[in-house]
A and B are shown apart, each in its own frame.
Chain A
Amino acid sequence: MKLALLADLHANLEGATACLEHAREQGAEAFAFLGDLVGYGADPEAVLDLVAAEAAAGAVVVRGNHDAAVLAAGADTMNRAAEAALDWTRARLSERHRAFLAGLPLEARQGEVHFVHASADRPADWTYVCDPLRAEQSLVAAGATWVFSGHVHEPMLYYLGSTPRPLGFKPVPGVAIPVPAHRRWLAIVGSAGQPRDGNTAACYALLDRARSTLTFHRVPYDWARAAAKIRAAGLPESLARRLERGE
């Protein structure tokens, strides 16, 4: 069974659609959405409808900090562009969309697989898992063999050898990496809606549970259209430029 993992969709319909289409071509039968469905992008309703439909069909969905912030006005902990996008999003969402977001859990679990937007160590603190120490804390808190997260937009694979501190590995797109169950793994799958590593292509990862392999994919998508929608909506220019540059 192949499980597609998407994080940080950020209301980018073109990015999310391209990743889902690619994943289905690769034989994905199950989906997990690792939070931050909205914020930054110009298509929050369409992306939420897409994810809600997948959830109805059995997909795992967890809540991200942008999803939480859009529900709770006044918590200005983000940068100005992010805040502007959240205010804009908040004003557009229908009761149905708000209810869907409100119903999302912070974490989800399927056997030895753990899903969380940021760190499994106090998930509501939205800690960035950006180094081996934080990866270790998340792995310990999750107590699972495989932990899948987003929040940090650059794809990364942390793995435990025989030392207590995990090691980080920058994955090469399209390579099926063995992730056997006798080790522990924490994967940051990368952002499907706002890549930030200098490559405009959207990120997602595919877990092959039968073979115990994980493949990080990069999917080129129509970012010109997504950026044009951001400008047309009157959202901050920096958010459109980010998609054009992938950073």
Chain B
Amino acid sequence: MSPTIEPGMVIDGFRVLERLHAGGQGVIYRVAPPPGRPDLDVPLLMKVPRLGPGEPSETVVTYEVEQTVHAALSGPHVPRFVAAGDLARRPYVVMEEILGRSLRAWTDEAPLAPEEVARLGAAVATALQAIHVQEVVHLDVKPSNVIIRPDGRAVLVDFGLARHAHYPDLLAEEFRHPMGSAPYISPEQVLGVRWDPRSDVFALGALLYQLATGHYPHGSPTTPGGLRRRLWHMPMSPRRLQPGIPEWLQEVILRCLEPQAANRYASAAQVAADLAHPDQVTVGERGRRLRRPGVGTLLKRWIMATGYEPSPLERPSQQLVGASIVVAAVATAHRNEQRFQVLRDVVKRLMAMDPDRRLSCVTVIRPSSDLAGGTEEEAGTSQRIKHLVLLRNWAEPLGLPAERLSFHVIESGDPAAALLEFAKVNPVDHIVIGAPPADVPLKGAFVSTRVAAEAPCSVTVVRPRAG
């Protein structure tokens, strides 16, 4: 066993500054980077697992998993991974210290206002989507594993129970008891399923429930039987606990908490999109219900749960491809039925490829202050309604159900910037946009050109066949 770590010690070049935290699984130190590493310009933490005689074998494995999975992740929603020590010699992980507040600061204050719940939830959903597209399922989403940066973005930490589809799962069948935190663990995790990104969507639902009501949806059971209950049991309606919760928010929360993964949101990105646009949430029975489902429904669910068989999936991204968000940029201010039709044809084919795919129809109009006549506000509202009607009319021939569709009229003097911002905020996967008409000069300055060049996702530029 390696000697105890004290401030002042230098480990593989990292100088130990102070001990920050000693927990059940390990100790966390603040460290300084090795000399000659100007690239390490962020505060650094060293996490040292408690290994050795007397410690459970799980600690060793979760350390290995954390090291492998964290090293493979990047982006603003995970702490930057810096280095890992050799397991046999001196195990540790060095990573960026995230300056922010643990989500526990908010759950401790719950119940929170619906807008606050939606803001935090959307931030966590966006972070989850960011790791899911990197083929990782977190599997231990809970308040203490989420840090909210000062700018509002969420960062996920602790990948000790995570699963990366590119690496052998060291935790598969390793420990017979379900792994994770009782209040947040998904029904399929209770059964040992460790590949489904929708497990994180369930945990997100539990977080939202807690933030909105101050309660856990399924309590904090300590027995296997207690954990299994969530395979068929639905939690108490949040609006019964907190009448101020709007129907749309309850709809989102309970949809995340559906026992069958297939009945939940197909991706975290879709949760983020709904939380960011409450007016676009299709409220159904879930959102309105004040009682739990009746005995008949429960019995049906219980029977389904006994035959619970998750479908096999090789990679999280397989699930996500089907669950993507498509944006149709419809230039309602420049109506041209031929061009509208071409756009619709392409969108129709994209939407037909998967039933979980969702479509956001977006148009950008000039800000109302630019318009003459009446009071500004009235003029703005009537303009927005006019374009909303045009958007709906454009989408009608697609024949998509309401829950797969949303409509957004954005006011901006810079349509390209507005579309790019929309694509960034709402984890959009694909933008379909019309090319500028052939007879217009200065093509380089056009919206579609800039969107195609700068979008964070795929862009299809469509135009009617010339000649």
Contacts and interface: CB of A to CB of B under 8 A. Distances in A.
Main secondary structure of the interface of B (DSSP, over half): loop
A242 B166 CA distance: 28
B88 A182 contact: yes
Contact of A182 (B87, B165, B315): B87
A65 B224 CA distance: 50
A172 B166 contact: yes
Contact of B170 (A161, A170, A172, A181): A161
Contact of B174 (A162, A177, A181): A162
A167 B173 contact: yes
Given A161-B61, A162-B57, A182-B88, A177 B167 contact: yes
Interface string B173-193: 110000000000000000000
Interface residues of B, number: 18
A196 B169 CA distance: 25
B68 A178 contact: yes
B168 A157 contact: yes
A33 interface: no
Contacts of B87: 180, 182
B314 interface: yes
A27 B167 CA distance: 22
Contacts of A167: 168-169, 172-173
A181 B89 CA distance: 12
Contacts of B57: 162
A175 B64 CA distance: 17
Nearest to A172: B166
B64 to A, nearest CB: 8
A157 B167 CA distance: 10
A110 interface: no
A175 B167 contact: yes
A177 B314 CA distance: 16
A100 interface: no
A178 to B, nearest CB: 6
A163 interface: yes
Contacts of A162: 57, 61, 174
Interface residues of A, number: 15
Given A167-B173, A182-B88, A177 B168 contact: yes
Main secondary structure of the interface of A (DSSP, over half): loop
Contacts of A177: 166-168
A182 B67 CA distance: 15
Interface string B401-442: 000000000000000000000000000000000000000000
A159 B166 contact: no
A175 B166 contact: yes
A170 B314 contact: yes
A178 B168 CA distance: 9
Contacts of A170: 314
A181 B86 CA distance: 11
Contacts of A180: 64, 87
Contacts of B167: 169, 175, 177-178
Contacts of A169: 167-169
Interface string B303-326: 000000000001100000000000
B61 A159 contact: no
Nearest to A179: B168
Interface in A142-173: 157, 159, 161-163, 167, 169-170, 172
Nearest to A178: B68
Contacts of B171: 161
Interface of B: 57, 61, 64, 68, 87-88, 165-174, 314-315
Given A161-B170, A161-B172, 17 more contacts: A161-B61, A161-B171, A161-B174, A162-B174, A163-B173, A163-B174, A167-B168, A167-B169, A167-B172, A169-B167, A170-B314, A175-B166, A175-B167, A177-B168, A178-B68, A180-B87, A182-B87
14 contacts: A159-B168, A159-B170, A161-B174, A162-B57, A162-B174, A167-B168, A167-B172, A167-B173, A169-B168, A172-B165, A172-B315, A175-B167, A177-B166, A182-B87
Q: Which 6 A-B pairs have the closest CB atoms?
A: A169-B168, A175-B166, A161-B174, A172-B166, A159-B168, A162-B57
